[in-house]
Copies of this chain bind each other. A is one copy, B any other.
Amino acid sequence: MTGKMTIALDAMGGDAGPDMVLPGAELASVRHPDLRFLLFGDGPRLEAILTKYPRLKGRSEVRHSEIAVGMEDKPSQALRRGRGKSSMWLAIEAVRTGEAQGVVSAGNTGALMAMARFVLKTIPGIERPAIAAIWPTLRGESVVLDVGATIGADARQLVEFALMGEAMARSLMSLDRPTVGLLNIGVEEVKGLEQVKEAGRLLRDLGLPLEYKGFIEGDDIGKGTVDVVVTEGFTGNIALKTAEGTAKQLSTYLKLALTRTLLSKLGALLATGAFATLRERMDPRKHNGGVFLGLNGIVVKSHGGTDALGFATAVDVAIEMIRNGLVAKIAADVAEINKHMDAFAPRAAVDA
């Protein structure tokens, strides 16, 4: 099903680097027998690990790179040290040249975004890329963006996020007409930021081919009220991390409660199957992969602290986006939409 798809991996990214990335790629190889990999990183180290994974070895090519971007490097440092030669840069470069159709990295988010913007450039008509998270909800999954590519967004940028997120939801969840909501606050005396209100007006009045459902609040994300949740990167990042913190908090409570007494331990034992289902639903490794939207190429960021299973999920996400031609979809949508937008809301006027 993946045809002759090739994915470039920054094998040095993530807390455990190639010791996590390569087993992750092996798992992805099992799932996708036609998939090929370009593995960028410390050649001898990668070759040594590959001896344990003959299947992966047969389907991948190692590209040596001396330099690995550190997880704590600032984007400017990473660019200075790693431009043109780090495993991260070279993996992205493989997408630009067409050797690979997408890149996956568990490395430093800031550096990855900076390099990806530099190498791939934004799609014509898109001002700023965004990072989209795949958020598990009571109804399934939603796309939430921006979760931290940039801080702040004006009305027109929020509309661009809506378009890009909608295209991603169509690709990822095979929805014909995903619903879109703008994240806002419901307290009456403060009816939301001006740019959010203005974005709401644009989404309602522009006649975009997009199912806009209006404002939603924070608790609507988990409910799955809409398929695509649009907000700027500061709020989006804090919402995402707050939800992660709450999930961790509640699973800690649950563990504590279930190991407190002999009876509760016995109960937990009997309900093992139920808890396996619960763990599965809550497993962050099943929802791993932040998609960089708005660039001329597919870039997926895996959690740095994930394991092989989580990394394989991020590869799955990349495959899905490639297979559905996400970049072309966004480019076409944006070209179409910018005709409307320029008439209704010239960029300068919206920005002012």
A interface residues (Cβ-Cβ under 8 A, vs B) = 72-75, 108-111, 113-114, 137-138, 148-152, 183, 185-190, 192-193, 217-223, 231, 233-235, 237-254, 256-258, 260-261, 263-264, 266-275, 277-278, 281-282
Contacts and interface: CB of A to CB of B under 8 A. Distances in A.
B271 A267 contact: yes
A170 B126 CA distance: 49
A264 B271 contact: yes
A257 B275 contact: yes
B245 A274 contact: no
B267 A242 contact: no
Looking at A246, A251, A254, A261, which has the most chain B CB atoms within 10 Å of its CB? A246
A247 B254 CA distance: 12
A263 B268 CA distance: 10
A282 to B, nearest CB: 7
22 contacts: A109-B187, A110-B187, A110-B188, A111-B189, A150-B190, A151-B190, A152-B193, A185-B234, A187-B237, A192-B234, A218-B237, A218-B245, A222-B245, A238-B238, A246-B247, A247-B250, A253-B282, A257-B271, A257-B275, A261-B274, A263-B270, A267-B267
Contacts of A242: 218-219, 221-222, 239, 242-243, 246
Given A109-B187, A278-B253, A273 B248 contact: no
Contacts of A253: 278, 281-282
Copies of this chain, tallied across the complex: 2
Given A148-B185, A151-B192, A248 B263 contact: no
A196 to B, nearest CB: 9
Given A218-B245, A266-B267, 13 more contacts: A75-B188, A110-B189, A110-B190, A113-B189, A217-B241, A219-B242, A219-B248, A242-B246, A243-B246, A246-B247, A250-B251, A253-B281, A256-B277
Nearest to A150: B190
Contacts of A266: 267, 270-271
A151 B271 contact: no
Contacts of A151: 185, 190, 192-193
A266 B268 CA distance: 10
Nearest to A109: B187
Given A110-B189, A278-B254, A245 B219 contact: yes
A193 B235 CA distance: 11
Given A108-B188, A273-B263, A218 B247 contact: no
Closest 10 CB pairs of A and B: A218-B241, A267-B271, A267-B270, A110-B188, A222-B245, A219-B245, A110-B189, A264-B274, A218-B242, A222-B249
Given A222-B248, A250-B282, A235 B238 contact: yes
Contact of A218 (B109, B221, B240, B274): B240
A244 B257 CA distance: 20
Nearest to A238: B218
